[in-house]
Structure 1
Amino acid sequence: MTHSRTPRALTLGSINQDIRVHVSEFPKPGETVLATSGGTALGGKGANQAASAALLGADVVMIGAVGNDGAGHDATQQLNQLGIATSHIGQVDETTGLAVITVDSTGENTIAVLPGANTRISAGDVEQHLDQLLTNEDETFSIAWSQGEVPPEAILAFSDRCRIHNIRFVLNLAPFVPVATEVLEAADPLIVNETEARALLESVGLDTKIDDPQSAANAAHVIATRVARSAIITRGSLGATISDGTRTWHEPITSKPDVVDTSGAGDAFVGAVIAALARGETLVEAGRDGVRAGTYAVARSGTIDSYPTSSEALAAAAVHA
């Protein structure tokens, strides 16, 4: 498919400094283990997903907040280097968000997050940023998205402005947090993993198990018909189950990667879905792109450093076609 302009995408999202350590085995309670490697990097679901989308060709504008500290300055600079517009990222009197990530020898991870400045994004801030952006005739967006690492009232204001301006809204409810019914109903798609899907369904009084392909399909259909406009349930090494309310299908991983690091793979998936939808691709095509990006990411170390560029994604797709 040929497009005449770079797709524009708008995100309200979290920005963190990641502290990452690699260990042979996770420490037991009270135990100290020596790490084999480590370092710091840009992180946060918002920043990760924005980076994934930008690497895959989307022109991303980000709304968020960082602290008035070195980590905040570094994060903004790194987002700029990725080509992400940062003029609507505020600086607040709070520490920049922090995530401590531990990765074991199998590629599994544990993550502890201190939200910091991300909690300081208010509904009023969001409305002010969007009024500035969306009243500018030179600014047009085909898609907008958010995640669960920013305050629910900010997400509500964001989705409401998207509705008013007829911008497709996508919600990655990760981690699961209670949000307004209007936010869920606007999501097209609503993206969750299996754990988040269970929590979501429980929160709206629906008891749908997710423990095999059929139950995953049932859950995706229920979310797409009774909660949101469409749904994607990511299922790790099993790919993703997707529903637009009329049709429900499974998008498998076509080749099993050698897993190095699973942290951030879900964000690679979401960013790829956003980039595809911004280009005007269908939900089928976007889901396929998401699975490919997530598969690519788990075979490499790190989060943003493991995400594919457009050319790498095309090369990987050709290999596994």
Structure 2
Amino acid sequence: MNSVVKTTGLTKKRKGKELVTNVNLQIHKGEIYGLLGQNGAGKTTIMKMLTGILKPTSGEIELFGQKLTESSKLMLKRVGSIIEYPIFFEHLTAIENLKLHCEYIGYYDEKGIKQALDMVHLKGIEEKCVEEFSLGMKQRLGIARAIITKPELIILDEPTNGLDPIGIKDTRDLILMLNKEYGITFILSSHILGEMEQVVDRIGVIDNGRLVNEVTLQDIQKERTDYIELLTTDVQKTLYLLEHELNISNMKILQGNRIRIYDLTHSQSAISKLLILHNIGIEEILKHTSSLEDYFYAQINGGDKID
């Protein structure tokens, strides 16, 4: 499988502090790759190095099979990106901003500009000055600028930032369409893990500047553990009934007298019926389906979520 991005020992130091440490990425042609990490974990720094905004302190970057150097930065024309917050000339219109961008990179296609605006649902406001745009509209315009040339690789840092739920869905659909129909490779970062789960093929978990794990979404789904969590008025009697009446042995007691049942042979309704028949009050019963968010927190924080 061809690699679009490959990093070896990628490291960035600033004022004696390592922001990114020895990161080895390999991103394949045609995949959607997600960088997951808390704020300040190093995701944006990695993206800035991949796009030539920052120079690595040490390590190497290969794009499309070629080492990225000062003399080879022309290959960045094959890359579209939004890193952090998209910046525009506020007094100019959307079309004027996109035309300036195209002139800068040597791309001339009036139809391409209009098509990009249409793709991000900004059609009809082309003559409106950017200073009149909402945060969400500016984010859409940034995505239009990133995709206008239909590059081979698109790097998007928090692409749904500032968007409402409809805008988030539209962005997700756009990424999937460009990936499927044009074969564009994507690198995304986001704190909205549920959204990432609906888009990415593979993720890299970044914690304190280090790549702590790299795994396909398919493998995460295989590792997931669903369970029923139960809180009753009589924990000991509940445990006895579950074990002797329903033959459930794969369960444990959590702090706070909660019972977590990993054996899902019996449904919630069957468990509830048994307890009611034996006059045990049910304060809470719910089925938990683990998500990408659960996996992420397990990787960086031993499974405990951070409030």
| Bigger CA radius of gyration | 2
- The answer to whether the superposition gives a TM-score over 0.5 is no
Q: Could you state the TM-score of these two structures normalised by the residue count of structure 2?
A: 0.28
Q: Could you state the TM-score of these two structures normalised by the residue count of structure 1?
A: 0.27
